[in-house]
Amino acid sequence: MVTVYVLGGLLALLLATGLTPLVKAFAIKIGAVDVPNARKVHTRIMPRMGGLGIFGAFVISLLGLMVVAPDLLLSTERDSNLVWGLLAGGSIIVLIGALDDLYELSAKVKLLGQIIAACVVVFGFDLTVNFVNVPFGNQYLSIDDWIAIPLTIFWIVGVTNAINLIDGLDGLAAGVSAISIATLLVMAVFMGNPVVILLCVLLLGSIIGFLFFNFHPARIFMGDSGSLFLGFSLAVLSMLGFKQVAIVSFVTPLLIIGVPLSDTFFAIVRRWLQKKPIFAPDKGHLHHCLRELGFSHRKTVLIIYGIATFFGILAIVQSVAASHHANWVTFVVICILLVALQLGAEVIGIVSKKRRPMLDMLHRIRVKVESRSDS
């Protein structure tokens, strides 16, 4: 079985490496290019639609493995629904993203496409979150369909857009998605879920193959076809991919995609404080703030990779602790997370350059301690 995983990952990587240059030439030919403007970091016209290379590599390798090892992927109805739901919904998402890369669709049209893709997963393949684990208890709560269905659709659409929002620097969205998928992979190995392991391996191989062309200095952008597909895949796998989902607290999926979700959350808070429309674009995202602090393009991306890895480690620790009913670990993880988010947001100024309550409090404490020591 390990051989299948390794060969599948290598196949996806090689396919992405081979397909991406073809997608680049195709994007240039049809005019799917990204033109610089005041909000964007790049300074020259770049081909986009690189997500077609990621999606193509994933689909071809997955279909090939379905022929070679059908028992591994389609052994149960739930596994079969997960695979076909990801393919069907992912195809719709990629189509919407590719059309946006070419024609720049309105936000309403893109949102409608995302909702349709989510509904295909929920209604067409019966993939919904119908129970969650209580972080500080050993029981899980059953969720009625009237709550589970809109909750699942909201999660899929929200995560899909969260990945799309961080796609602002070369290799950023692809790398962060790869780290999140690697986190899912480790958890799937821990839980012994071969289908999720294989899907993660194929996605990881496809992303790494694409990153050869997308890491700074990029030769092609993934575009919405890539960021929306990766966000959609992460949303589906992070909530629906585990047979032993009862042992996974609802905190875990939030940690897995902590970077895009926290960046989106801070963007909403920032725009609310500034009395701007919540969906209004700005240059206050995490990568923008790090660039303003003087970090280079590449260092900014690597710093965010580090933050994503930190979230991933917390997710793994928390899920392992939850499986052993070590609920105090969940409490510690949440406390560490909240403090780290607040301090990090204040240091880089992602919400406000002036409002820094925790840093101000620490400064006052330090002043008092120093004054007492001097006296």
Q: Are 297 and 216 in contact (CB under 8 A)?
A: yes
The Cα–Cα gap between 209 and 203 comes to: 10
The Cα–Cα gap between 138 and 148 comes to: 21
CA distance readout (Å), 193 to 143, 184, 333: 23, 11, 25
164 known member of a binding site: yes
Q: Are 204 and 181 in contact (CB under 8 A)?
A: yes
- The phi, psi pair for 132, rounded to 5°, reads -135, 150
- The phi, psi pair for 46, rounded to 5°, reads -125, 140
Q: Are 230 and 163 in contact (CB under 8 A)?
A: yes
Query: Helices 145-165 and 258-273 meet at what angle, rounded to 10?
Result: 80
Residue 279 tokens read as: 């969906």
Q: Are 177 and 234 in contact (CB under 8 A)?
A: yes
The Cα–Cα gap between 116 and 193 comes to: 28
The Cα–Cα gap between 278 and 95 comes to: 26
The Cα–Cα gap between 270 and 266 comes to: 6
Binding site for Mg(2+), residues?
Answer: 164, 224
Binding site, residues?
Answer: 164, 224
